[in-house]
Structure 1
């Protein structure tokens, strides 16, 4: 469990209809969820639906309901029901597809479709109970708005004419309120205390509109530009963004505050007296009362995903070819971990979907065609190669040097490795209170530190194959082939770990830490600079070689002596034949003991690129 100091929580006053399961968690679209512990980047399961999964998965009663849309190759469109525990497909309705997230309405699912239809679907069988045509100009999106179930009725918007629809439990249109202009296709209504809030467009001017349950306008609030996301409310103000501003609007329709802001599809989450919202490359946290920016966190691309908040952590994803799921501390904005998809060449694994948290699991879709499920506990296994040398860590404002070939070096080498086809990075912080006697102890990994669960203290401990290590992780030197374990548990045994990091370390007697290349001309040379470190005094050989775009091979070699613990920047001269192909060359550097060359390669590093002209 992640320790979290509560601060003046915004009172979230839920209506009687809040039990309805819907996009962004509740009818107020607060993005607030419940979890007993921090979700970690441990994949419980992933299920391929094919196509693009842009909708947010929605959990209800042990099931995940989600649509996919468009795609390439063998695309299997549909509204899917998945087993939330295993990820297995329970049923698929191939008629329905799109980016609309479902709303659960008793034993029915309500969802939009790319053809402009709104469907009522039996949750148990997937059979269509009722279909209503609402969007007359569906274009690419149809109804991408996520329906709202509120006080026994369904509310949904259509984008082409900025209309809010109210529909009863039998699928009959009760009324509609039309603003007339086009609105964002993904914006969805929210509700609080008998008011329904939605995006509008009147004569080309963006609006936030509030109507009562009879469809009578209560107020219209003009905004600068088009509303790009869904209004969310904490019961005191309504928060909504355009491409130029983020607004907080009082419940009487007057402005509370606004700030310059580049809005996306990302709908604001409201929790802990803060507003969390994504933009072009950053997640922002604003004070909900006055709009003061508390922090911003840069990520690897645009955020269209709507943040989900649970247990002091904010979860969201980026809409980039290497779509990335992030977890950040809700108070500081510190990145705790990320899970970055690695698409094959020519593919794009963007994430437009928003996280949904239920039963201590996080569910999210991606353009990989998969739905992913992450959980609060589990084990990771990493294979790392460690070379002699040192790296620097900063602890409590103090700078320390750590040997790469220690248990701590193995942990830092593990924090950015590929797991299940994705790159996983996690935060590590250290405690130097007993440094002079024992070295560093682990303070947190992934934001998780010493805590108490059911009266038992849990913390990070470090183990090898024979037992718990009694010194700091930086004081334990690893053998050539050794496995080290980081256990988050009560310290009694590896079997008691809630989270286990198993790190298989291959410790090299010498290694390369960097490779720099100059460019060169035909008939001339390329100079390579290779940083080599050795654990023992010996003679060594470095070979730098590789090929160009057309398969032309070039190579160079240097021989040198290193003392134990010494690091040397070794120059290697690579001759370029007069008739060599022009273009980009990819080169690698390898180091050998002189006495074992060329039979035994110790360490290979690269590639690095250079140009031949």
Structure 2
């Protein structure tokens, strides 16, 4: 435990920041950040803090500052300082924990705590400089509001009585404005042109309140229910959500527009004339001027995370057991990639934390107890198994068939992969402008396409071990074991790639693309239909086998001949013994060369389920 250092805050601060480094990026809570390129699902580092990391990490001067709280089993509470480049822990103050995101105030950190204290902490050492008790009824949350540093003062809300506090640079209370009723524990104030905006509650009636820097009320705007998030403003309107509506309020306190909406903790980001905000299972984009919905994107769960916008991409996460970080195109809402956490059985890796982008990196916490750092460049390596056959792609409204055993087939097989205990998916789009002569060109991967950086053109090129491939990826057939590379760079060499996808492909001589099962009765049969494709002419064996819920085993076998490139729907009869257990059976299909059966299995597919009665 670190001791409280009783010295003047004014002396320890070298400068009072004109605008704080804070939750959602700035004092207006716009969610706008800067990055030289798109953040990709390449993990630079992850650091385990233990507990739940619900606060948003905040970057300042080469470090990340973040708190954790309420963990599973043995956990280490604290306010942490991490090296932003390596993720190493610089210091930990075990006296502070919670879900409040840090605000940087010169050389100090200002942060709330689950006990209801507001702390001023030395950013270099982690020592507590001042502690102020503000929340008299902390309950589970204490001060989960994220402090705002504005014009040399600190503003923060306490939830139990709907109070906005102004604290000076020495940690002294200057004034407070109390609305009296309970507000959302996570809602935080924002500011613009001398006005401070915050959520209030008068006699059970929700309010958006604007006061000046002297604490004098400028206006109150009534809302339907309780405000669930933090006010954000683009300098023309203030945006807040309740459980039933999304509001845009003019700076004079009049309504600009409102729409029916299921609000969460997700604070709106405002960029490109749009409002981006999360809800129950969808991210929405509204026109900031009139509230017209431009698009909505469905995701894998509730969004409490507040979107971060940089370089035409919106980043956010889902508060669901398989917490997922998403990147979507800001104009279309198209998902560019996601990074989905995979908790062990009985655990929940929800993500309440919001992304923070700095130094071309994205930082975010999760209920896994980790802080994650993603970057704009890096190398990926995938091991894929390809089976003969074709799949369909749709390009510019045209449908095409692509061989699975091509370089393009290897890329599509890599779209879904598991890395560092997470499920990662990325989008691929194609250009068919020169299809008849060369095949497909790669238009984008993860949303990244042809661009000019520092006067140099960068684009996706495809390589093998000897050099750049001179045909489209769909025209390049892979050998039995071959490595192909997708390079995002200037095309001069693999060493010049900003992003490199290395795909180690193994091409099977035959493969199974589907397995269908009928149900069956004891003493009868189950019919299995197995789709098999061959790359070479030969005799093959298919075996379909598996077990029931009680461990009863059943199996069937078929022998057949296939020509090179031929696909066949093979029937397999599976006898069910008269005394077999009833219930659900899970079956797999395997294909062998006849000459190598049963020693060498070529490909295994499944499971599929059927019922025995």
The TM-score with structure 1 as length reference comes to 0.96
- The change in CA–CA distance for 1:104 and 1:546 in structure 2 (over 3 A counts) is same
CA distance 1:549–1:75, shift in 2 (3 Å): farther
Residues 474-495 of structure 1 show CA distances to partners (whole Å, capped at 9, x for unaligned) of 0000001000000001111101
CA distance in 1, matches of 2:97, 2:105: 19
Change (3 A) 1:131 1:558: same
Conservation of the 8 A alpha-carbon contact between 2:274 and 2:287 = yes
Root mean square deviation of aligned Cα: 6.4
Structure 1 Cα separation of the partners of residues 205 and 523 of structure 2:
65
By how many angstroms is 1:520 displaced? 3.5
Partner Cα distance (1:612, 1:321) in 2? 34
SS at match of 1:401: strand
Q: Distance in 2 between matches of 1:38 and 1:2?
A: 39
More off after superposition, 80-89 vs 586-595: 586-595
Judged with a 3 Å threshold, the aligned counterparts in structure 2 of structure 1 residues 434 and 414 are, in CA distance, closer, same or farther, namely same
Instruction: Tell me by how many angstroms 1:399 deviates.
Output: 0.9
Q: Spell out, residue by residue over 1:243-278, the C-alpha distance to the aligned partner (whole angstroms, 9 max, x if none).
A: 111000000000000011111110000011110001
Cα deviation, 1:71-118, whole Å, max 9, x if unaligned, reads 112211111110000000111111111111010111111111111111
Q: 1:24 to 1:442 in 2, by over 3 A?
A: same
Distance verdict in 2 for CA 1:49–1:582, change over 3 Å: farther
The DSSP-based 3-state class of the residue aligned with 1:437 is helix
* Per-residue deviation, 1:583: 3.9
Q: CA deviation at 1:3?
A: 50
**Please, which moves more after superposition, 24-33 or 140-149?**
140-149
Cα distance in 2 between the residues matched to 1:172 and 1:443: 57
Contact 1:10 1:273 in 2 (8 A): no
CA contact (8 A) 1:15 1:192 kept: no
Cα 1:8–1:255 change in 2 (3 A) is farther
What does the per-residue CA deviation read over 1:483-517, in whole Å, with 9 as the maximum and x for residues that have no partner? 00000011111011000000000101110111223
* Aligned residue pair count: 613
- What is the CA distance between 1:13 and its match in structure 2? 26
Does the aligned pair in 2 maintain the 1:591–1:604 contact within 8 Å?
yes
Shift of 1:6: 50
Q: Is the 8 A contact 2:15 2:106 kept in 1?
A: no
Cα drift, residue 576 of structure 1: 3.0
Deviations 1:537-569 (A, max 9, x none): 222111112233333322222222222222222
Contact 2:6 2:129 in 1 (8 A): no
Residues 13, 234 of structure 1: 8 Å contact kept: no
In structure 2, list runs of 5 or more residues that go unmatched. Answer: none
2:537 aligned residue: 537
The answer as to whether partners of 1:269 and 1:306 remain within 8 angstroms in 2 is yes
Tell whether the 8 Å contact from 1:515 to 1:608 is kept in structure 2 after alignment: yes
CA offsets 1:4-57 (integer angstroms, 9 cap, x no match): 999999999999966310000000000000001110110000011111111100
Q: Aligned pair in 2 of structure 1 residues 523, 142: CA closer, same or farther (>3 Å)?
A: farther
Q: For 2:393, what is the secondary structure of its paired residue?
A: strand
**How far apart are 1:378 and its partner, in Å?**
0.2
Corresponding residue number in structure 1 for 2:520: 520
Compared CA separation, residues 209 and 94, structure 1 to 2 (3 A): same
Paired residues of 2:4 and 2:130 also in contact (CA < 8 A): no
Distance in 2 of aligned mates of 1:348 and 1:259 = 33
- Are the equivalent residues in 2 in contact too, given 1:282–1:299 (CA < 8 A)? yes
2:555 and 2:490 map into 1 onto residues whose CA distance is 54
3-state secondary structure, aligned to 2:381 = strand
Contact 2:276 2:286 survives alignment (8 Å): yes
Moved more, 559-568 or 394-403: 559-568
Q: In the TM superposition, what is the alpha-carbon distance from 1:325 to its structure 2 partner? A: 0.7
Q: Is the 8 A contact 2:3 2:128 kept in 1?
A: no
> Shift of the alpha carbon at 1:193?
0.7
| Greater mean deviation of Cα atoms: 247-256 or 315-324 | 315-324
Paired residue secondary structure (1:16): coil
Out of 275-284 and 538-547, give the one that drifted further.
538-547
* Contact 1:3/1:448 (<8 A) preserved: no
Please say if residues 3 and 451 of structure 1, whose CA atoms lie closer than 8 Å, have aligned partners that are also in contact: no
Q: Quickly say closer, same or farther: Cα 1:493–1:11, change in 2 above 3 A.
A: farther
Q: Deviations over 1:339-364 (max 9, x none)?
A: 11111222111111100000000000
Q: Deviations over 1:408-441 (max 9, x none)?
A: 0000110111122111111111111111111111
- The 3-state SS of whatever aligns with 2:297 is strand
CA distance 1:177–1:532, change in 2 (3 Å) = same
| 1:336–1:464 CA distance, 2 compared to 1 (3 A) | same
- 1:132 positional shift: 1.3
TM-superposed CA distance for 1:186, in Å, is 0.8
Secondary structure of 1:71's partner?
A: coil
Mapped contact 2:382–2:504 kept (Cα < 8 A):
yes
Q: Is the 8 A contact 2:13 2:108 kept in 1?
A: no
> Residues 15 and 458 from structure 1, CA distance in 2 versus in 1: closer, same or farther, beyond 3 angstroms?
farther
